[in-house]
Amino acid sequence: MSAPARVLVVDDSPTMRGLITAVLSSDPEVNVIGQAGDALEAREAIKRLNPDVVTLDIEMPNMNGLDFLEKIMTLRPMPVIMVSTMTHRGAEATLAALEIGAFDCVGKPAPGELRPFGDLAEKVKAAARTQRQYSQPVAAVAPPPSVADFRVGRKIVAIGSSTGGVEALIAVLQKFPANCPPTVITQHMPPTFTKSFAERLNRLCAPVVQEATDGARLEIGKIYLAPGGERHLQVTSASAPCCRLVDRAPVNGHRPSVDVLFDSVAELAGRNAVGVILTGMGRDGAAGLLKMRHAGARTLGQNEKTCVVYGMPRVAHELGAVEQQLPLSAIGEEILKMTAARKEGTE
């Protein structure tokens, strides 16, 4: 058995520090080695205790969590899990933190929540195991091809991601031109965060990015992100392909689930689809991607070296669901190659 993950809990609220510590300490593979009430205390604790992982509150006195995270990633790169309020403001700050390099995020529990911080211990253990090189600078993103340079075919793109997915999706979607193929995405993310993430992607990318709504028709130049929380995203067709938000129990512990999305794309589009599985914990999406490949779709997986967590792509690769494993920097361009119209006609 490997040594327990050593964690420093940073939050200005003694009550919240106590709750996080209690949740983490219930797992024998996690050891809370210290607590800090602000960035100044946290800085000294990091120097003294050398934790494997830090949980970090976004809103703190003296220096907010976002500014402190930037200092950590510059001076002492390490896995950091952000703890955020489930508000629009909290979501915006958390998304910025994930772009800076935070490992993942969890939402602060609502009053009376039965399982506060339900998967925090699993995220901490995954963070402690990660081989990610936090000190590596983010590569510059090349501009996407122009509309005139890309002739879109008839394929639908479906993408699934989880831990590390914010950075990964930005890297992939910034390669897309304004006339990209219709693209549907399920990213594991707390409720209220997906709307802010869609808005952020829309500002950063050439196509239109929006949170998926029930009945929204899939159109060229548009990207649809599954809303977090209560429903799964599927793609269906009465007369034309459209988004459906369906009430179902969680699948693989997730709602929305990547498997639910991929299953629906396999049934609707078959060979006229491209499936992509990016960084993430667990196995959600692996079986659905295999179903897509069996239906004739092209399939891609992010390679181990560039994943924050090589979980979902690893399982998909082991099942035989992945046609090609590629570094993150190559995935966007490969999707465009697979979805471009042929010169003699469209696919």
**Tokens 């009550």 label which residue?**
15
How far is Cα 296 from Cα 266, in angstroms, rounded to an integer? 8
Let me know if 284 is a catalytic residue: yes
Let me know if 232 is a catalytic residue: no
Q: Which residue among the candidates 257, 263, 284, 317 is catalytic per the annotation?
A: 284
Q: Which residue among the candidates 162, 196, 257, 264 is catalytic per the annotation?
A: 162
**Tokens 């058995």 label which residue?**
1
Let me know if 162 is a catalytic residue: yes
Measured distance between the N- and C-terminal CA atoms of the chain, rounded to whole angstroms: 51
* Residue 78 contacts residue 56 (beta carbons within 8 Å): no
Q: In what order do the strands lie in the sheet with 183-187?
A: 208-211, 222-225, 183-187, 156-161, 273-277, 298-302, 324-326
22: tokens are 């209690």
Residue 346's identity, in one-letter code, is: T
Q: What are phi and psi of 227, to 5 degrees?
A: -65, 140
Q: What are phi and psi of 85, to 5 degrees?
A: -70, 150
How far is Cα 271 from Cα 260, in angstroms, rounded to an integer? 18
Report helix, strand or coil for 220.
coil
* Residue 221 contacts residue 180 (beta carbons within 8 Å): yes
Q: Which residue among the candidates 38, 188, 259, 263 is catalytic per the annotation?
A: 188
Q: What are the catalytic residues?
A: 162, 188, 284
